[in-house]
Amino acid sequence: MVQKYKYNQIKIKNIEFMFGVFTLIVSLMIGMIAADKFQEMHETETLYPSYALTEISHLSDYNPNLKNTNGNTEIYFFNSDSAGGTVLILGGTHPNEPAGFLTACLILENLQIKRGRLIIIPRANNSAFTHNDPQEGQPQYYTIEGIKRERIFRFGSRITNSIDQWPDPEIYLHYPSGQKLAGNETRNLNRAYPGRADGNLTEQMAYGIIELINKKNVDLAFDLHEAAPEYPVVNAIVASERSQLIATEAAMELQFEDLIYSMEPSPYNFHGLSHREWQDYTQAMPILLETANPIQGRLRGKTDVSLLLTGRDPMYLKAAELGELHVPYDSAGISIEVRVGRHLSAIKTIIDVYSNIYPDKAVEIINVPDYEEIVSKGIEEYF
CB of 66 to other proteins, least distance (A): 17
Does 357 engage in binding with other proteins (CB under 8 A)? no
Binding residue (CB under 8 A) for other proteins from 8, 9, 14, 39: 39
Does 34 engage in binding with other proteins (CB under 8 A)? yes
Q: Which is nearer to other proteins, 24 or 147 (CB)?
A: 24
The number of residues making up the chain comes to: 383
Query: 92 CB contacts (<8 Å, ≥6 apart)?
Result: 100, 101, 104, 121, 122, 123, 124, 125, 126, 128, 129, 156
Residue 68 has what DSSP assignment? T
Q: Which is nearer to other proteins, 17 or 268 (CB)?
A: 17
Binding residue (CB under 8 A) for other proteins from 10, 30, 83, 173: 30
Does 10 engage in binding with other proteins (CB under 8 A)? no
Q: Which is nearer to other proteins, 6 or 13 (CB)?
A: 13
Does 323 engage in binding with other proteins (CB under 8 A)? no
Q: Dihedrals φ, ψ of 312, to 5°? A: -90, 125
Rg of the Cα trace of the chain?
24
The dihedral sign for the CA sequence 198, 282, 268, 249: negative
Q: Which of 149, 174, 141 is nearest to 44 (CA)?
A: 141
Angle at 179 between CA 202 and CA 214, to 5 degrees: 50
Binding residue (CB under 8 A) for other proteins from 7, 10, 11, 20: 20
- Buried b / exposed e along 327-354 (16+ C-beta atoms within 10 A): bebeeebbbbbbbbbbbbbbbbbbbbbb
Binding residue (CB under 8 A) for other proteins from 7, 9, 11, 17: 17
Does 178 engage in binding with other proteins (CB under 8 A)? no
Burial class (CB in 10 A: 0-12, 13-18, 19+), 355: buried
Q: Which is nearer to other proteins, 19 or 268 (CB)?
A: 19
CB atoms within 10 A of CB 226: 27
Does 304 engage in binding with other proteins (CB under 8 A)? no
CB of 190 to other proteins, least distance (A): 24
Q: Under rule CB under 8 A, how many of the chain's residues touch other proteins?
A: 18
Q: Which is nearer to other proteins, 72 or 291 (CB)?
A: 72
Binding residue (CB under 8 A) for other proteins from 8, 14, 27, 283: 27
Kind and range of the H or E run holding 292 = strand 285-292
Q: Which is nearer to other proteins, 42 or 312 (CB)?
A: 42
Residue ranges that bind other proteins, judged by CB under 8 A:
16-17, 19-20, 23-24, 26-27, 30-31, 34-35, 38-39, 131, 163, 166-167
